[in-house]
Amino acid sequence: MSTKHRKREDAAKIRSNSAASSEKGKPQAEIQHARTQQDAQDGQAAHDKENGTKDRNAVTSSPSRAPTLPKTQEIRSTQHTSSTRDKLVGQAANGSIQLHKDRVDPETLRIQYWRQRRKVFLRHISRKYMRQARQDSQRTMRRFWVVLGSVVAALLVIFLSVSGTGAYLTYQFYSDTQSKYVPRVVNLRDLLPRDNLKVYDSKGVIIGQLTDQGMHTAVQLQDVSQDLQNATVAIEDKNFWTNPGIDIPRIIQAAISDLSHGRVVEGGSTITQQLIKRLVVGNQTSLIRKLEEVMLTPSVNSQYTKRDILEMYLNSIFYGEQAYGVDAAATVFFGLQDKPGKPASSQLDLAQAAMLAGLPQSPYSYDPRIYPEAAQARFEQVLSAMYTQGYITNAQRLDALKEGQSSHFFKRPDLTNRAPHFFNFVLRQLEQEYHLKRNQLSRSDMQVYTTLDIGLQDKILQIARNHIDQIRDTNHVTNAAEVLIDFHTGAIRSLLGSIDYNDESIDGQFDVATQAYRQPGSSYKPFVYVTAFKEGSSPAQAIDDASLTINLPGSNPPTFTPHNYDMKYHGHMTLRCALQNSLNIPAVKVLQHAGIAASMQTAHDMGVSSYEGTPGYSLVLGGLGVRLIDETSAYGTFANGGVHVPYYAIQKIVFANTHNTIEHAANPGKRAISKQLAYMMTSVLSDNDSRLPEFFDCNVLQLYSNSQQECRLGDRGTVRPSAAKTGTTTDFRDNWTLGYTTDYVLGVWAGNDDNTPMSNVTGVDGAGPLWHDAMLEAEQGHPIRNFTNPGGLERATVTYADGVTTTDWFMPGTEPKFTPNLQPTPNGTDDQDTSLLPDLLDVNSTSSQQAQFQQFNAKVPGPYCPSSYSFAFPPPGGSSSGSDGWW
């Protein structure tokens, strides 16, 4: 007979014997009643199937839900039952199955079909669990013989120790064991499991952690609930506090108990021995390993106190469900969270402690979520041991039992990553700094304390989501990102890479703030303007917003012609007016004077450390791709008086086992521009009146405390000084607003991750409102302070040769001097008599001359920015060069 057939016969015998033994000793009437009840259940199953209410995977004869079959087994089962059904139908057709003479009963056929299918399914399940039972039995027997052998060996060692030869052999084994393992014993704490990496915000609130290799948090014994300590000692080693690390009476008692049951029901290892097994000699099931464990126990007892041993044990033991150590177990099974000064392990009550104390003996078999009945029995066993040994009263035991039966006793931990983009940003920095891979960081023992304010970020996130919800449908804007930095130190206080990390429709997991190179639009202009200031110009510089075409030999196209957003020209004005209204043509002219290379260098020095694209005249319009975090940091250089302090996210790293700490070293920064230049730019970007022609009053770049509606009704509330600039790409694919106060710099981006264009939305409508509300939220509780003039600047009133008159800031010695030299204009006004204008401008001119001047002045155009400049006389018409004093 083949082995295959012999195995089938053996399995059949086992099933037959099992069925027979289950009925043996029962009254015949009871057996008949059970069978009748089974048939009724089978009939009900068929009836339920007919009405579509029966779950295909349910087995009605079992009080618990049958395990779900693997896909391949389910296919085979389905194929088998299909053939069975066909066979039954065929038998019915051939008359093999006796039906009623007058009609064929389909109900009977269905009952027999489902009964047959149930038998096939139960046969498969029984085979599976029989195999599992054999394996468990083999493991149990191995453990049984090892324990028994250990007892005999221990007694043998004691006996031989008193004889000469035995003493020598014992000493030799002892010496070998000591030389092999003592170095590990001396450094036992270094062998404890490493903590999984955890990331905290600036206030100690956990943001997220790496759990792919389990959870572990080392705690001191004083931070472990006393109930948990007592429960562990009571069930694992009741003589722990008094035994020398080996409990011979307990070993003998355990051996007798195991012999009487024919299996391992009670362990003889003390907590000390278990610690040695786990950390030193390993858990291999062998007699030699057990003897080594015994030999090392005196060394451990001499090196460490009982409290040390219990602490290391509780920090190293596995509790199941990826929980290593008692603190992780408190979180995994009861949802308790570590709090500053109050670890989860210290929050355990009696019932929770008793449940956890019972798990280490067999974490899988006693897992309350998989085997609740076994876990409950073990729970009661622990409480009984605690009561018997005097740790608790009977009333406490009963109360704990009642709590353990509550439906809310177990709680899933909240392992939500509260700041996923920032968390991943920190991990990337750790990978680069320590040259570690992500899986190496998982159990690196690192506790990473960051600069983030998670409470503030949660509020900013809600602001961003609310704003995008308002414009999503009307303007096709689906996403936003932001970065908030304390520019004094470079500390990142908030970082959102998207408005929803888990929303695949917006590509939410992609970090726009730190990884995307997006075009910044006009928000790049201040770097070009401040380069011009550095070269001797000022916010007062006169410039002509007129048609401009730049020849680009060898390029395609060969010319570059910029246009303003409104496709209009606004005539002569100042740089202050041009920048605040985000006019493109004057910006390109400024770039011509400042130079492309010099402007790029300024941006780099201030913090725009990388970019995508080719620098050209379009860069002042946002033609290059830059990262939001870089440009935000660069704006912080303006706010910090021209000193660039690099941004950072990690404040300190504490290694849990050694308590070694690596602190972030304060960075004084590096000067990128002078504090005078920084203040000149701040005075422009904070000038709300100068931006009114384009942005109107009550625009969101002004930080008024009341609502925009209240502002428009005349009640702004408190206004906090701020400097800001928007940016919008020509095709509405990117929307930026960046700005700063005396405390923070904030950058905001709005748009679509797939780079599809938005619908007619500018920076002041898209990113602007989010910037306004987020900055006010960040400033809650901060005193209102104005920007400080550093000194070293001169304020003067200047009339340029084109008639532009303005009062503004100048670097010392750069105030221009002009003598009006008016000529007839070539734009149809050559009949204008200007020959007397120099005399008319003289304060000593006659009344007749003054009248002529008033007549002349009537033809002076109105300035585009009335608050910024005026005209002393009509500007010249047509094109003119910078040699005339204006650009």
Print the SS3 string covering 8-61.
Answer: HHHHHHHHHHHHHHHHCCCCHHHHHHHHHHHHHHHHHHHHHHHCCCCCCCCCCC
Spatial CA neighbour of 296 closest among 311, 284, 310, 279 = 279
**Torsion angle, CA of 664/439/412/363, rounded to 10 degrees?**
-120
Per-residue model confidence as pLDDT tens digits over 479-492 = 999 999 999 999 99
Spatial CA neighbour of 527 closest among 815, 669, 725, 721 = 725
- 3 state SS of 745: strand
- 3 state SS of 208: strand
Alpha-carbon span 405 to 240, nearest angstrom: 30
Which bin fits 607, alpha (ψ -120 to 50), beta or left (φ > 0)?
A: left
| DSSP H or E stretch at residue 749 | strand 745-751
pLDDT at residue 129, as a whole number = 65
| DSSP H or E stretch at residue 393 | none
Q: Are 869 and 806 in contact (CB under 8 A)?
A: yes
Alpha-carbon span 28 to 32, nearest angstrom: 6
Q: Angle 226-236/306-316 helices, nearest 10 degrees?
A: 90
Alpha-carbon span 436 to 428, nearest angstrom: 10
Place of tokens 């920007």: 787
Which DSSP state fits 417?
-
Q: Angle 350-357/326-334 helices, nearest 10 degrees?
A: 110
Strand bridging mode 198-200 / 446-450: parallel
Alpha-carbon span 26 to 303, nearest angstrom: 61
Alpha-carbon span 709 to 64, nearest angstrom: 63
pLDDT at residue 293, as a whole number = 82
Alpha-carbon span 479 to 86, nearest angstrom: 58
Instruction: Establish how many alpha carbons lie within 13 A of residue 255's alpha carbon, considering only the half-sphere containing its beta carbon.
Output: 17
Place of tokens 């066993």: 381
Measure Cα distances from 881 to 602, 796, 870, 878 in Å.
26, 24, 21, 10
**Torsion angle, CA of 284/288/289/290, rounded to 10 degrees?**
110
Q: What is the distance of C-alpha 604 from the center of its chain? A: 29
Instruction: Establish how many alpha carbons lie within 13 A of residue 284's alpha carbon, considering only the half-sphere containing its beta carbon.
Output: 9
Which phi and psi angles does 253 have, rounded to 5°?
Answer: -60, -40
Q: Give 864's contacts (C-beta < 8 A, 6+ positions apart).
A: 545, 570, 571, 573, 577, 581, 693
In 51-105, which residue ranges form alpha helices assigned H by DSSP?
71-94
The model's pTM: 0.76
pLDDT at residue 877, as a whole number = 73
Q: Are 301 and 275 in contact (CB under 8 A)?
A: no
| DSSP H or E stretch at residue 550 | strand 550-551
DSSP 305-367: -HHHHHHHHHHH-EEETTEESHHHHHHHHH----BTTB-GGGG--HHHHHHHHTSTT-TTTT-
Alpha-carbon span 735 to 763, nearest angstrom: 5
Q: What is the distance of C-alpha 586 from the center of its chain? A: 43
Measure Cα distances from 493 to 205, 424, 430, 502, 778 in Å.
14, 15, 18, 22, 9
Spatial CA neighbour of 736 closest among 548, 608, 575, 549 = 608
Alpha-carbon span 421 to 450, nearest angstrom: 13
E strands along 144-283, which residues? 198-200, 206-209, 215-216
Burial class (CB in 10 A: 0-12, 13-18, 19+), 60: middle
Per-residue model confidence as pLDDT tens digits over 784-842 = 999 999 999 999 999 999 999 999 999 999 998 876 554 444 443 433 444 434 444 44
pLDDT at residue 364, as a whole number = 94
Angle at alpha carbon of residue 135, lines to 130 and 139, rounded to 5°:
145
Measure Cα distances from 88 to 61, 80, 115, 317, 442 in Å.
23, 12, 11, 56, 58
Alpha-carbon span 71 to 67, nearest angstrom: 12
Residue numbers of the chain with a pLDDT score lower than 50: 1-40, 43-102, 822-843
Strand bridging mode 323-324 / 215-216: parallel
Strand bridging mode 318-320 / 323-324: antiparallel
- 3 state SS of 4: helix
Spatial CA neighbour of 595 closest among 644, 529, 500, 672 = 529
Q: Are 673 and 530 in contact (CB under 8 A)?
A: yes
Which phi and psi angles does 24 have, rounded to 5°?
Answer: -65, 135
pLDDT at residue 341, as a whole number = 86
Measure Cα distances from 666 to 489, 646, 650, 652, 663 in Å.
7, 10, 12, 11, 9
Helix, strand, coil share of the chain (percent; to 5): 50, 10, 40
